[in-house]
Amino acid sequence: MMRLLFLLLALALALSQLVTAESSCSGAEVKGKVMSTFDAATSQYTTVVADLELKCKGGVPDGFALYAEHNGKLYSAAQSKEDSSKFQVSVSEETAKMPSSSLSLRIFDEEGYQQMRKGATANPLSTLTHSVRYPYSGFGINSELIVITLGAIGVYLAHGIRSRM
């Protein structure tokens, strides 16, 4: 009975090592391109999108996860179905809370993500910086207000036309 238990334990340990080795990325290198919206006056939120490319020795394993950290918040990156080495992460935040000069996205793997969730410091795989510029100051009315106003006018006109019929 003890031999069987020992054999099962050894088999479980061997399988867990195999799964861990298969889902890890040795020599990870992340490169990326970061884009953001720049019409601060007409939109209440600023969105930042990062297209990431991961390179591993031996290729990127299926189901590998990347995470991004910005201003203490963690975001999950979506993996491309066509190319498992490509990821995309998006961050949306109120324009008033976004930095006005540059922002940084720190990219982590699963281990770094777990350390960040526990509150420990972790070394990122890569840090991407992006210059945030708001060149358009506009006329100071949010796009949401314009849409609501035009919608209300449309409903008013439609109701008026229908009541005359």
Mean pLDDT for back-to-back runs of 10 residues, the chain (165 residues): 61 50 70 80 80 88 88 90 91 78 86 87 87 62 88 96 89
- Which pTM was predicted? 0.64
* Per-residue pLDDT, 6: 58
Fold of 28-164: Immunoglobulin-like (2.60.40)
Residue 155: what pLDDT? 97
The predicted pLDDT at position 137 comes to: 53
The CA distance from 69 to 120, in Å, is 13
**Helix (H), strand (E) at residue 17:** helix 2-22
To 5 degrees, how large is the angle CA 11–CA 14–CA 18? 135
Predicted local confidence at residue 5, as pLDDT: 56
| Nearest Cα residue to 109 out of 61, 71, 72 | 61
Q: What is the reported pLDDT for 20?
A: 41
Tokens read off for 24: 């890890």
Q: What is the pLDDT of residue 147?
A: 93
Distance, CA of 122 to CA of 47 (rounded, Å): 25
Specify the pLDDT at position 22: 43
Identify the helix (H) or strand (E) that includes residue 32: strand 29-36
